[in-house]
Structure 1
């Protein structure tokens, strides 16, 4: 697996306590280990490169045994390669001007606030910091009040390749801004606003084996309090909502995936008795994309439309905790 690029952004108006920073690093280490383990597990069930070469040779041999000539096989390969090449990023964007860098934002996750802004924003989770990661084939930048990911993930051989991109963010609800609850219950329900679209497609080279283009999106949400050198989760603990965005496995299959909408994280309800006096509640949110590509020409485009070249943009606005639920 290729090492992802990473970036961390800290809100200059908020402090990240040392014990919370330590917990955040541990949570990131767990995430990275889970991703690496899932990639290794997926790869363990697929043919090796040597086995793929053998399978390709056997398929060509079988074609010859039923009367298909070498010239026909060669012409078929050339035709399939030409069809796949037309869908590649280089062919579709060779006449386009480079996309300019977006403006730099100090706190890209703080925009689009919801709810009343009275007093000290009682009950609002304030953005503290964010972490971003993306595959080296992609680019990532801040602009237009969102974090953007753009580019093309392309498989250029018959092997299985895993790719990842996304963001995680920490939000804080200070103890002195936690509103009272008549029922003793609270609910946290963050959401993400996204713009853009994806395009998933599989290759046409059936001689090399299977062609896959798969993509899953995770929306993770947890609430916790740093206590006794560790953390205590509130409510049911960490929540992970998985959405299958693409699951293509037929040769030459293609699908456009619109992403411009509001996506809701799984909500968390907890009791007032779980809170600690004078300790903040911390929210961890994550939007992550896991991609699997197999087969020459299989791909996932994040900004493939030459008419506008919009990347995939996302933001998690600050939100208010609900009381009396």
Structure 2
């Protein structure tokens, strides 16, 4: 089951009531995503007739081939070669100095970081350190049917009314960015029409979302929202490991909006999420070792609203 965590900015005096609403919005978005992923896995699931055919092929192989250990030995040798190659690989931290950020205050017109919540699943872990949020370790799978899951983080930022600049037409633009460092790796095992006829999938998509909203007397009101998707890994039955380097500087989808209540704060959710699918002998990894060294690092920074 996925696990959720959070890191709060103690310098930003957000009320507990507002924090509860922020968390409920994150939970609502996650629940809808889990339902969508479950539907994807159900549609992908193989039919009963296909399963029976696979069983029949496996049974024929066992009964008619003299060396029944050949598939097992071939697979063990391949796994050993993969492990040896990973051990020999040279993982070097990015030589660029990764910036750190000061969230203790916010200037006029600047969105002030309030908290970050994150979720992990299927062996991927996360840890919030001084330089940001690290995702690390490996999600490994070796079965049917397909599984769909995600790991990611949602950061909440607030712009108070007394720090908001005036706008000539009452509209604003929000165009933040994040830093996303590191590499996501994916692997699919051997596919063979006789020895290993089941599908091997390793897929990973990067999902970005910015949502602006305000708390009003009738509850949270969404002012604007935009999403962006990009493919990182798309492997099917290729018997190889591939690497997807992350860009470092990463603009979030920009939005434009008017205010629902000029006397209320503007809140923004920035979501960075990795949507993943595994099937058969496969894995997706966020670090070369089961610790934050060489991991995927997500860094948020504060930014200024742009009056139109």
Q: TM-score, normalised by structure 1?
A: 0.80
Counterpart of 1:238 in structure 2 is 225
Distance 2:134 2:172 in 1: 32
- Pairwise CA RMSD: 3.2
- Kindly indicate whether the alpha-carbon contact (under 8 Å) linking 2:172 and 2:257 is maintained by their aligned counterparts in 1: yes
- Kindly indicate whether the alpha-carbon contact (under 8 Å) linking 2:178 and 2:300 is maintained by their aligned counterparts in 1: yes
Counterpart of 2:241 in structure 1 is 254
1:323 aligns with 2:273: no
- Kindly indicate whether the alpha-carbon contact (under 8 Å) linking 1:201 and 1:253 is maintained by their aligned counterparts in 2: yes
Q: Tell me the alpha carbon deviations over residues 232-280 of structure 1, each in whole angstroms, 9 at most, x when there is no partner.
A: 222xx22221112111113314321001421111111123xx2523311
Counterpart of 1:100 in structure 2 is none
1:291 aligns with 2:276: yes
1:179 aligns with 2:165: yes
Give SS of 2:162's match.
helix
Q: Tell me the alpha carbon deviations over residues 10-61 of structure 1, each in whole angstroms, 9 at most, x when there is no partner.
A: 1111122344334323312222222221221122123469767634333345
- Kindly indicate whether the alpha-carbon contact (under 8 Å) linking 1:218 and 1:240 is maintained by their aligned counterparts in 2: yes
- Kindly indicate whether the alpha-carbon contact (under 8 Å) linking 1:84 and 1:204 is maintained by their aligned counterparts in 2: no
Distance 1:143 1:22 in 2: 24
Distance 1:248 1:225 in 2: 41
Q: Tell me the alpha carbon deviations over residues 263-304 of structure 1, each in whole angstroms, 9 at most, x when there is no partner.
A: 111111123xx25233110011111111111012x1111112
- Following TM superposition, by how much is the alpha carbon of 1:144 offset from its aligned partner in structure 2, in angstroms? 4.6
Figure out how many residues of one structure are paired with residues of the other and give that number.
295
Give SS of 1:87's match.
helix
Counterpart of 2:95 in structure 1 is none
Give SS of 1:149's match.
strand
Where in structure 2 are the equivalents of 1:17-36 lying within 5 Å? 17-36=15-34
Where in structure 2 are the equivalents of 1:102-117 lying within 5 Å? 111-112=100-101
| Runs of 5+ consecutive residues of structure 1 not aligned to the other structure | 97-109
1:87 aligns with 2:82: yes
Give SS of 2:142's match.
coil
Corresponding residue to 1:149 among 129, 135, 138? 135
Counterpart of 1:69 in structure 2 is 65
Where in structure 2 are the equivalents of 1:166-205 lying within 5 Å? 166-205=152-191
1:278 aligns with 2:263: yes
Corresponding residue to 2:10 among 1, 12, 16? 12
Q: Tell me the alpha carbon deviations over residues 64-113 of structure 1, each in whole angstroms, 9 at most, x when there is no partner.
A: 89xx7241x6313421342134435x99459x9xxxxxxxxxxxxx9447
Distance 1:148 1:51 in 2: 43
- Kindly indicate whether the alpha-carbon contact (under 8 Å) linking 1:205 and 1:295 is maintained by their aligned counterparts in 2: no
Flag the structure with higher strand content: 2
- Kindly indicate whether the alpha-carbon contact (under 8 Å) linking 2:126 and 2:135 is maintained by their aligned counterparts in 1: yes
Distance 2:205 2:241 in 1: 16
C-alpha distance 120-163 of structure 1, shift in aligned 2 (>3 A): closer
Corresponding residue to 2:56 among 37, 55, 58? 58
